[in-house]
Amino acid sequence: MLQPMTTATERQTQTIQIEGMHCAACVRRVERALVKVDGVSEATADFIAGRAIIEIDRPIEQPMLSAAITGAGYELIDSDDENEQPGIREIRPQLLRAVPALIVGWGIFFAMQANRWADINWNPDTVFPVFFVLATPTLAWGVWPMLRNAARAAARRTTDMDTLIVLGVAAAWGYSTVSALAPVTFEGADASRDVFFDTALIIVGFVSLGRALEARVRLRAAAALTRLLELAPQTARVVEDGLERDIPASDVQVGDTVRVRPGEQIAVDGVVVSGESSLDEALLTGESVPVTKARGDTVFAGTINAEGAFTYQATQVGSATALARITATVERAQASKAPIQRLADQIASVFVPIVVVIAVITFIAWAVFGDNASWTSAVVSAVAVLVVACPCALGLATPAAVAAGSGRAARLGILFRDAEALESAGKIDTVVWDKTGTLTSGRHEVTSVQPNGVEDDELIRLAATVEQESEHPLAAAIVAHAQDRGLELGNAVDFRSRPGSGATAIVDGQLLVVGNERMMSEHSITIDDPESVSTPVYIAQEGRLIGTIRLSDQPKPGASEAVKLLSTREVDSVLISGDTESVVRSISEAVGIASYHSGALPSEKATLVAEHQTSDRRVAMVGDGVNDAPALAQADLGLAMRTGSDIALETAQVALMQSDPRRAAQAVLLARATRSVIRQNLAFAFSYNILLIPLAAGLAVPIFDAVGGVPGGIHWLFGDRGQFEPIAAALAMVASSLSVLTNALRLSRWRA
Ligand code: ADP
Ligand code: MG
């Protein structure tokens, strides 16, 4: 009973793990390299999670992909090592680069401090060359990956974050090397004679360490269902000719019979054939209350069996299971680009050249206009500018928030189709709710039967005979009622459904019309019915009203809470329904909605949504996704709620895996939280660069001079003269990236 989800599954997608991406520029490079591979029609890379999703026309050999990715300067992680977390693979090499650089760097740093404070007065002509010999290989080892990235960028006539680091480190090292090996260069400007090997090493060490930490945090932000998918069972117990056999879950075929024991996890999707149990579907729906499953019910891969035992027949395997498709949707959403991110990307791409220019100007200004320590100041300032300006935080600000936000949403059973949906959900100020099945349970009860010239049972039998063909909740209730009474249904011919009104069919050779007042008036039958809080279904036979069946429906348990959640955050709710006015009014009163529309046809629902939109409002529509398609499409954001046992992720921008109205409210509020994290991150990343670049350029020196020197407590930041220290700049840069990531990670724990 699974409906086709995203077009993604039809087009065939494959997820591959890639190592080494750390910025928006990397993403573009990897995507470009992948689409050049024959058979790959589209590629979406995600540096946050270290993976790419490719759309393929036909199966593609691993070596082909691997070659393309290596050619772009990254590495394809072998699918054989899937068990190993990609994060671990990124963290270890970074640490291997960081540790030697930090040890040697701090060693030189403390040696120089000791010389200064303990009056050792060593001879620079012998000590500096020793530093050179110690520092150069360690530095080369540490900076190598950054150098490779920067060189690759340069070959493409572009720049990236590594360009800045490499230039800064190269300047510090070059100056120090000249100073250590050819001191004659500085004769006459003795005060300038100094080395910055420690600075260069510590910068490289910090940046590598920062990237290791960053990889950890990034993956935590992206981890939602992916990790759970990895935990999905590896084997399934298949029954064949009465024999049970454990086979790899990937070998299970559609049609196989699978046996499940208590406590086991379901391996593939299927339909229960015998036995009964309750299953924890939290992995898919975010709802931890177990769901009872018996013969005919659908079970989903990844869900967990409680006490019972049962067998089921596989209907969806491999990448077709609901879990795999949900995971694909989430991965896709996490990798997609929010519109707001494009701006940040553009800024980041022009940023690097501008910073290089600022660094050069800084250098010249200090060399020409500085006092007697001008060379040192010039190098220190230029290096500090290059290091502090790295727009890493800017590049991480949006994607980290999108990954964490949509990951958190997925664990609540809320699937955003893409980052754009997440972004627009954050702007919603009006939520239009469909009534039946969305705010109400949709499980109607027959409350009264009023026949008009026929027997009770005959009225119900005729109505149910027509309704057995309909998918409407009212129809289902009438059919269930007929079955309760033990009535044998007849044969309906030429069934026609009129969405939002009712249905017609020929039963026993006579035209039967079932539906609301509008349906009746279309068949020239006038209704004179007193107001009631139950929904009337009128039944006419050959143009004559033969009775009324009344049904009532209860608001869902979470309905009032959802409306309240929204209203406390200034989001208005509107109820919209095709039902009669009195019923709609009573439901809206029950759940606390002030504004409602009744008697609306599906097409009119779209018009009503549009009317709300005109008054300068951002409108979301929550519906069941089938009947409400036009309204969902018209709204700024369409949220489709899961109905019955179907896990349908149609074309709505947001799919709610659980038919709980609270999830819809949470979707809007979580998106809002994500939006504000994105804004905070961007504001922070921008102001970080705007504030620290002038400090690094040494603009604070005259200020400190004016106030009589650097205060004692901030010497480590500003040195003796008010010059922002390059080591402090490296720390600041790493800290800014990590703050942006940590801020995004708050979304992983979001609650409402
Ligand atoms: P809602 O807007 O509450 O989801 P619908 O648009 O699905 O409701 O239907 C509107 C009205 O049309 C129902 O309240 C009912 O009166 C009538 N109706 C629609 N389909 C049927 C049906 N199969 N049998 C009887 N009545 C129907
Ligand atoms: Mg409906």
434: left (phi over 0), alpha (psi -120 to 50) or beta: beta
Residue indicated by tokens 């529509």? 621
More confident residue, 166 or 332: 166
Measured between alpha carbons, how far is 663 from 669 in angstroms, rounded to an integer?
10
* Residue owning the nearest CA to atom 2 of ligand 1: 577
Give the pLDDT mean for 311-330: 84
Place 225 in a pLDDT band, splitting at 50, 70 and 90. low
First to last CA, the chain: 32
Candidates 160, 162, 434, 628; catalytic one: 434
The pLDDT score that the predictor gives to residue 666 is: 97
Measured between alpha carbons, how far is 520 from 664 in angstroms, rounded to an integer?
35
Q: Is the model's pLDDT at 459 over the cut of 70? A: yes
Q: What is the pLDDT of residues 137-160, one digit of tens each?
A: 999 999 998 898 888 778 777 777
The pLDDT score that the predictor gives to residue 550 is: 96
Alpha carbon of 383 to those of 43, 387, 734: distances in Å? 37, 6, 15
Give the pLDDT mean for 453-463: 95
The pLDDT score that the predictor gives to residue 428 is: 96
* Residue owning the nearest CA to atom 6 of ligand 1: 500
Neighbours of 448 (CB within 10 A): 12
The pLDDT score that the predictor gives to residue 335 is: 75
The pLDDT score that the predictor gives to residue 224 is: 58
The pLDDT score that the predictor gives to residue 369 is: 79
Give the pLDDT mean for 311-327: 85
Q: Which of 181-190, 335-344, 425-434, 530-539 has the lowest mean pLDDT?
A: 181-190
Contact 596, 608 (CB under 8 A): no
Q: Is the model's pLDDT at 629 over the cut of 60? A: yes
The pLDDT score that the predictor gives to residue 311 is: 93
Q: Which of 401-410, 506-515, 660-669, 727-736 has the lowest mean pLDDT?
A: 727-736
The pLDDT score that the predictor gives to residue 3 is: 35
More confident residue, 429 or 728: 429
> What angle is formed at CA 11 by the lines to CA 8 and CA 16, rounded to 5 degrees?
70
Q: Which of 320-324, 403-407, 500-504, 680-684 has the lowest mean pLDDT?
A: 320-324
> What angle is formed at CA 71 by the lines to CA 65 and CA 74, rounded to 5 degrees?
80
Q: What is the pLDDT of residues 172-203, one digit of tens each?
A: 899 889 888 886 665 544 444 678 899 899 98
Measured between alpha carbons, how far is 303 from 290 in angstroms, rounded to an integer?
10
Q: What is the pLDDT of residues 544-555, one digit of tens each?
A: 999 999 999 999
The pLDDT score that the predictor gives to residue 105 is: 93
Residue 458 burial by Cβ neighbours in a 10 Å radius (0-12, 13-18, 19+): middle
Give the pLDDT mean for 696-721: 81
Instruction: Identify the CA nearest to 653 among candidates 6, 152, 55.
Output: 6
More confident residue, 222 or 638: 638
Q: Which ligand is nearest to the CA of 471?
A: 1
As a 3-state breakdown, the chain gives helix, strand, coil percent values, each rounded to 5, of: 55, 20, 30
Place 524 in a pLDDT band, splitting at 50, 70 and 90. very high
Q: Is the model's pLDDT at 579 over the cut of 60? A: yes
Ligand 1, CB cutoff 6 Å, lining residues:
434-436, 467, 470, 472, 474-475, 500-503, 514-516, 535, 537, 577-579, 602, 627
| The two structure tokens encoding residue 160 | 């990236």
* Residue owning the nearest CA to atom 9 of ligand 1: 500
CA of 465 to the centre of ligand 2 (A): 21
Place 222 in a pLDDT band, splitting at 50, 70 and 90. low
Is 345 among the residues known to form the active site?
A: no
The pLDDT score that the predictor gives to residue 85 is: 55
More confident residue, 19 or 225: 19
Contacts 24+ apart (CB under 8 A), 507-511: 507/462, 507/465, 507/466, 510/541, 510/542, 511/541, 511/542, 511/543
* Residue owning the nearest CA to atom 20 of ligand 1: 502
Pocket test for ligand 1, best of 440, 446, 579 (most atoms within 8 A of CB): 579
524: left (phi over 0), alpha (psi -120 to 50) or beta: left
Nearest-atom number in ligand 1 for the CA of 579 is 14
The pLDDT score that the predictor gives to residue 86 is: 53
Measured between alpha carbons, how far is 564 from 558 in angstroms, rounded to an integer?
10
Contact 540, 546 (CB under 8 A): yes
Q: Is the model's pLDDT at 737 over the cut of 90? A: no
The pLDDT score that the predictor gives to residue 2 is: 35
Pocket test for ligand 1, best of 433, 577, 607 (most atoms within 8 A of CB): 577
Alpha carbon of 165 to those of 218, 726, 731: distances in Å? 21, 11, 13
Bridge partners, 576 (sequence order): 434, 597
Q: Which ligand is nearest to the CA of 576?
A: 1
Bridge partners, 141 (sequence order): none
Q: What is the pLDDT of residues 365-386, one digit of tens each?
A: 888 877 655 677 788 888 888 8
* Residue owning the nearest CA to atom 14 of ligand 1: 579
| The two structure tokens encoding residue 650 | 């149609």
The pLDDT score that the predictor gives to residue 193 is: 60
The pLDDT score that the predictor gives to residue 17 is: 83
Contacts 24+ apart (CB under 8 A), 106-109: 106/198, 106/202, 107/134, 108/134, 108/135, 108/197, 108/198, 108/201, 109/198, 109/202, 109/727
Give the residue ranges of DSSP H helices in 22-119: 24-35, 62-71, 86-117
Q: Which ligand is nearest to the CA of 503?
A: 1
More confident residue, 731 or 219: 731
| The two structure tokens encoding residue 628 | 């409400």
Q: What is the pLDDT of residues 102-143, one digit of tens each?
A: 999 999 989 988 887 887 778 888 889 999 999 999 999 999
Give the pLDDT mean for 209-222: 76
Q: Is the model's pLDDT at 10 over the cut of 70? A: no
| The two structure tokens encoding residue 347 | 């800024």
Instruction: Identify the CA nearest to 539 among candidates 549, 529, 531.
Output: 549
Q: Pairing state of beta strands 40-46 and 492-498?
A: unpaired
Residue ranges near ligand 2 (ion) with Cβ within 5 Å: 434, 436, 627
Measured between alpha carbons, how far is 367 from 518 in angstroms, rounded to an integer?
87
pTM greater than 0.95: no
Contacts 24+ apart (CB under 8 A), 109-117: 109/198, 109/202, 109/727, 112/195, 112/198
| DSSP secondary structure letters along 369-380 | HS-TTHHHHHHH
Place 318 in a pLDDT band, splitting at 50, 70 and 90. confident
More confident residue, 220 or 510: 510
Place 702 in a pLDDT band, splitting at 50, 70 and 90. confident
More confident residue, 4 or 101: 101
Pocket test for ligand 1, best of 434, 436, 581 (most atoms within 8 A of CB): 436
The pLDDT score that the predictor gives to residue 495 is: 94
The pLDDT score that the predictor gives to residue 525 is: 92
Q: What is the pLDDT of residues 322-367, one digit of tens each?
A: 888 787 777 777 777 778 777 776 777 788 888 889 999 998 888 8
Contact 620, 636 (CB under 8 A): yes
- On average, the pLDDT of the chain sits at 85
Q: Is the model's pLDDT at 57 over the cut of 70? A: yes
The pLDDT score that the predictor gives to residue 625 is: 60
Give the pLDDT mean for 274-281: 89
Neighbours of 594 (CB within 10 A): 12
Q: What is the pLDDT of residues 600-627, one digit of tens each?
A: 988 899 999 999 998 789 999 998 766 7
Place 11 in a pLDDT band, splitting at 50, 70 and 90. low
Q: What percentage of the chain has pLDDT greater than the value 90?
A: 38
Measured between alpha carbons, how far is 598 from 620 in angstroms, rounded to an integer?
18
